[in-house]
């Protein structure tokens, strides 16, 4: 295959990765933006979403699309409830102290991982794609499902943006982000906003995972890479800036896909993590962040 088509293939792979990464990182960014806490267990909510998706699709018979649609609904719902419970039982009692929250969510990470290992097992299991067609380019055929993932992710991000900017709930979230004290004075139930935001953040990760699971198999350790990549994206995009997060996800996801095709993936990851460390050292507000974090 010539360089041109090869680059196109690499870009398509990168775009699929970027689409899922953007959804996952958006969840992390939302939680950081509104609640000012770092959720280290975010990758485990992603993994939980994938594992539940496998579980739902294997219970629902018939056409693969039926099970997939059921998973799209059930998996984020269960993950959201679990996240809200964790928020109520643990994070609230810590008063959202940033460092105590990091320790607690590391604990949560281990608990969720062990739950998945003990119930689901150590095997990687595939989920059938809901649709099965190939888009034929002049040089190669490409999975139609992967193209749909890009579209679905874009639609969901648009929905998040609409909710944040055009609804009452979104207004409450933005008010809480801006100044929780004043928001409380205006009768905004800040506690419930926090629980809701934490749940929505986890649900976005779960949605990303349901989309990816027909491409990558569900595995109990799969949350590790998305967590690190989401950290990277959220930092580069500017801590707390949603627009920056999406933009950074596209850049990081695309370049990760393209570099991994042409170079060693390990070297690509070393360069990416070092780059992020240096960005945070010299531009603590991130590349697109307006205000210091």
Partner 1 sequence: MSRAVGLHIAVLAGLALAQFTLPEYHHGNLARIMVLAAFASAYNITFGYAGMLSLGHAMFFGAGLYAAGLAAEFGGIAAPGGLVLGVIAGALMAAVVGVLALRTTGVSFMIVTLMFAQAAFLTVLYFGEWTRGDEGFVIASDMRRVLGLDLADPATRYWAAFAVFGAVMLGSLAVARSSFGRVLAAIRENEERTRMLGYDVFRAKLMALAVSGAMAGAAGAAYALLFGYVGATFASIQYSILPLLWVLTGGAATVLGPFLGTLLMFYLIDVSSSFTTAHMMIVGFALIGLILFFPKGILGTLRERVVPWLP
Which of 65, 251, 269, 287: binder of partner 1 (CB under 8 A)?
A: 269
Q: What span, in angstroms and rounded, lies between the C-alpha atoms of 184 and 94?
A: 19
Residue with tokens 């993950």: 79
Please report how close the Cβ of residue 155 comes to partner 1 at its closest, in angstroms. Answer: 30
Per rule CB under 8 A, is residue 108 in the interface with partner 1? yes
Which of 59, 103, 131, 290: binder of partner 1 (CB under 8 A)?
A: 103
Which of 15, 72, 74, 104: binder of partner 1 (CB under 8 A)?
A: 104
Per rule CB under 8 A, is residue 221 in the interface with partner 1? no
Which of 211, 235, 246, 254: binder of partner 1 (CB under 8 A)?
A: 235
Which of 73, 117, 135, 185: binder of partner 1 (CB under 8 A)?
A: 117
Q: Which stretch binds partner 1 (CB under 8 A): 10-18, 47-55, 77-85, 275-283?
A: 275-283
Q: By C-beta, is 124 or 277 nearer to partner 1?
A: 277
Q: Cβ neighbours of residue 255 under 8 Å, at least 6 residues apart? A: 14
Q: Cβ neighbours of residue 15 under 8 Å, at least 6 residues apart? A: 150, 253, 254, 257
Percent of residues in the chain assigned helix, strand, coil, to nearest 5 = 75, 5, 20
Angle between the N-to-C axes of helices 224-237 and 265-282, in degrees from 0 to 180, rounded to the nearest 10: 40
Determine contact, residues 235/227, Cβ cutoff 8 Å: no
Q: By C-beta, is 48 or 172 nearer to partner 1?
A: 48
Please report how close the Cβ of residue 209 comes to partner 1 at its closest, in angstroms. Answer: 20
Give ∠ CA 19-23-28 in degrees, rounded to 5.
Answer: 140
Q: By C-beta, is 110 or 133 nearer to partner 1?
A: 110
Per rule CB under 8 A, is residue 113 in the interface with partner 1? yes
Determine contact, residues 240/155, Cβ cutoff 8 Å: no
Residue 56 backbone phi and psi in degrees, to 5? -65, -45
Which of 110, 133, 262, 263: binder of partner 1 (CB under 8 A)?
A: 110
Per rule CB under 8 A, is residue 281 in the interface with partner 1? yes
Which of 10, 115, 147, 215: binder of partner 1 (CB under 8 A)?
A: 115
Which whole-number Å values give the CA distances from 173 to 96, 161, 214, in the listed order? 16, 12, 33
Q: Cβ neighbours of residue 176 under 8 Å, at least 6 residues apart? A: 34, 183, 188, 190, 193, 194, 197
Which of 8, 10, 94, 128: binder of partner 1 (CB under 8 A)?
A: 94
Residue ranges in contact with partner 1 by CB under 8 A: 38, 90, 93-94, 98-100, 102-104, 106-115, 117-118, 228, 231-232, 235, 264, 266-267, 269-270, 273-274, 276-278, 280-282, 284, 293
């Amino acid at each position: 295959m010539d360089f041109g088509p090869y680059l196109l293939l690499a870009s398509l792979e990168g775009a699929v990765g970027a689409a899922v990464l953007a959804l996952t990182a958006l969840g992390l960014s939302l939680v950081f933006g509104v609640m000012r806490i770092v959720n280290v267990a975010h990758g485990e909510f992603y993994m939980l979403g994938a594992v539940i998706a496998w579980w739902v699709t294997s219970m629902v018979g018939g056409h693969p699309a039926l099970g997939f649609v059921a998973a799209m609904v059930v998996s984020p719902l269960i993950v959201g409830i679990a996240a809200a419970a964790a928020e109520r039982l643990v994070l609230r009692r810590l008063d959202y102290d940033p460092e105590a929250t990091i320790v607690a969510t590391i604990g949560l990470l281990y608990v969720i991982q062990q739950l998945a290992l003990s119930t689901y097992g150590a095997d990687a299991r595939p989920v059938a794609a809901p649709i099965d067609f190939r888009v034929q380019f002049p040089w190669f055929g490409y999975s139609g499902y992967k193209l749909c993932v890009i579209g679905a992710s874009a639609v969901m991000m648009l929905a998040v943006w609409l909710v944040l900017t055009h609804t009452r709930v979104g207004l409450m979230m933005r008010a809480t982000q801006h100044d929780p004290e004043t928001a409380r004075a205006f009768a905004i139930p800040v506690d419930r906003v926090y629980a809701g935001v934490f749940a929505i953040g986890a649900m976005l990760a779960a949605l990303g995972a349901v989309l990816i699971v027909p491409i990558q198999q569900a595995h109990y350790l799969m949350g590790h890479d998305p967590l690190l990549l989401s950290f990277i994206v959220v930092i580069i995009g500017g801590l707390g800036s949603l627009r920056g997060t999406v933009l950074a996800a596209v850049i990081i996801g695309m370049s990760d896909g393209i570099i991994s095709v042409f170079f060693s993936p390990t070297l690509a990851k070393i360069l990416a993590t070092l780059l992020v460390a240096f960005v945070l050292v010299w531009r603590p507000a991130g590349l697109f962040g307006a205000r210091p974090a």
